[in-house]
Structure 1
Amino acid sequence: MIPVLRSELHRTLTVPSSWISIGAAVVLGMSFALFSVDFWSLFAALGVFGIAVVTTTQHYQHHTAMLLFLGQPKRWVAFLAQCVAAILIGLVVAAVSGITTILSGDFVQFAGTMAAVPLLAIFGVASATVVRRPVPLFIGYGTWFVFLEGLWFRFEEPLPFTTFMSAAGGKNPVGLLFFAGYTAAALAVALWTIRRDLTD
């Protein structure tokens, strides 16, 4: 798994679009933390999720997934390496963007968000492995978050992104458990569907 992980980190950190995404996530997170720590958690989450989705779907869009799986025939190992890479990058992005949150003394919010970031990174990789295209995934989840969780259910638990934001506040460990359940479900679906043909 280590060679695949090293390859994924190298690929992510040498592609200009990745640096743009990472930089934007950091700047937005630091900027909105000046207004509200909840905004920081939200934009840190969007950055981590977006980076995980984009770096995973690039393999399918640019047809490098075939090379990835030729190098590592056990697709679940390659998938695991992608998850670990997304977690490491996500933690760095969240930590750097959270500097203003730390300086303001909101350690509980910072710790809660950092604890939830690895789950969100895995959730992003798993979702991207199933859908394989970033635009439909972003539109689908964005619609779900705004209209269903927001307007319809008024951000009540235990819906997925609501539980993440609740956990990110650092005061509701139950929210983290709920989101861990959603992540586990997405992980199971991804591990099942990763075996399908690369042209699908």
Structure 2
Amino acid sequence: MTAVLRSELYRALTLRSSVVSLIVVVAVGLLFGWLSPDMWALLVGLGAYAVGVVGTAQHVQHRTAVLLHLGQPHRLRALAGQVAAYVLIGLAVAALSGVTVLAGGEPDRWTAALVAVPVMAVFGVATAAVVRRTTWLFLGCAGWFVFVEGLLGRLKQPLPFTAFLDGSAGDGRSLAVFVGWTTLALVGAAVAVHRDITGD
């Protein structure tokens, strides 16, 4: 697990596109935190989700999944290493970009988001382990958020992204609901990581 953690962090922090993306999220997060803590929490949550999805699914798309599992044959340990790496990255981005939220006198909001963001990173890794395609996952999640959670649920039902938004605002019950959704996704991921990777 430690080797996977190190390699995922190295990959995420040395690829130019990854580094630029993280810098952009931090910069935009600083601006959003100054304008609105709600906008900031949404941005860092979606950023943590995207980092987890892209980092996990790229192994299949770039054909490095075989190398990953040759280095760590125990697939659940490899998944745990990926989860740990993207939780750390998500936390770092949220903490840095939230400086303006702290400066705005809302330390409780910053703390609540820092509790919720790692769960979102785990959710991203887990869903990517199941779906394995970033485009499908992002389009599916966008449609889910707009049509199911937005139009049908009116952002009031205990659905994943709504629960994250409320949990990142400090609502403990919503955070517990989101942890439940993430646990379900992790169970799916624990099964999905054992699928064949040579056919993808």
Match of 2:7 in 1: 7
What is the letter of the counterpart of residue 72 of structure 1?
Q
Q: Unmatched 5+ residue regions in structure 1?
A: none
Cα shift at 1:117: 1.1
Counterpart of 1:43? Answer: 43
Cα distance in 1 between the residues matched to 2:58 and 2:20: 15
Q: Secondary structure at the match of 1:158?
A: coil
Which deviates more, 119-128 or 21-30? 21-30
Verify: 1:175 aligned to 2:189, yes or no: no
Q: Quote the offset at 1:34 in angstroms.
A: 2.2
CA distance in 1, matches of 2:101, 2:34: 8
What percentage of residue pairs aligned between the two structures are identical?
47
- CA distance in 2 between partners of 1:181 and 1:60 (Å): 27
Which residue number corresponds to residue 185 of structure 2? 186
Counterpart AA for 2:185: A
Distance in 2 (CA, whole Å) between partners of 1:122 and 1:165 is 15
Within 2, Cα distance between the matches of 1:17 and 1:131? 23
- Greater Cα offset, 11-20 or 95-104: 11-20
Q: 2:83 matched to which residue of 1?
A: 83
Q: Is the 8 A contact 1:86 1:121 kept in 2?
A: yes
Aligned to 1:66: 66
Aligned letter for 2:75?
Answer: R
Moved more, 90-99 or 14-23: 14-23
Per the normalisation by structure 2, the TM-score is 0.97
Q: What's the CA shift for 1:2?
A: 1.2
CA drift of 1:73 comes to: 0.6
Which one-letter code corresponds to 1:85 in the other structure?
A
The residue number in structure 2 matching 1:162 is 162
Distance 1:126 1:107 in 2: 29
Alpha-carbon distance between aligned partners in 2 of 1:4 and 1:194, rounded to the nearest angstrom = 15
| Counterpart contact for 1:59–1:65, Cα < 8 Å | yes
Aligned residues: 199
Cα RMSD between the aligned structures?
Answer: 0.9
Q: Quick one: distance in 2 between partners of 1:33 and 1:7?
A: 31
Where 2:35 maps in the other structure, the secondary structure is: coil
| Deviation (angstroms), 1:157 | 2.9
Task: Tell me which residue corresponds to 1:113.
Answer: 113
1:133-148 matches, within 5 Å, as 133-148=133-148
- For structure 2, list consecutive stretches of 5 or more residues without a partner in the other structure: none
Three-state SS of the structure 1 residue aligned to 2:195 is coil
Greater Cα shift, 132-141 or 145-154: 145-154
Describe the SS at the equivalent of 1:154: coil
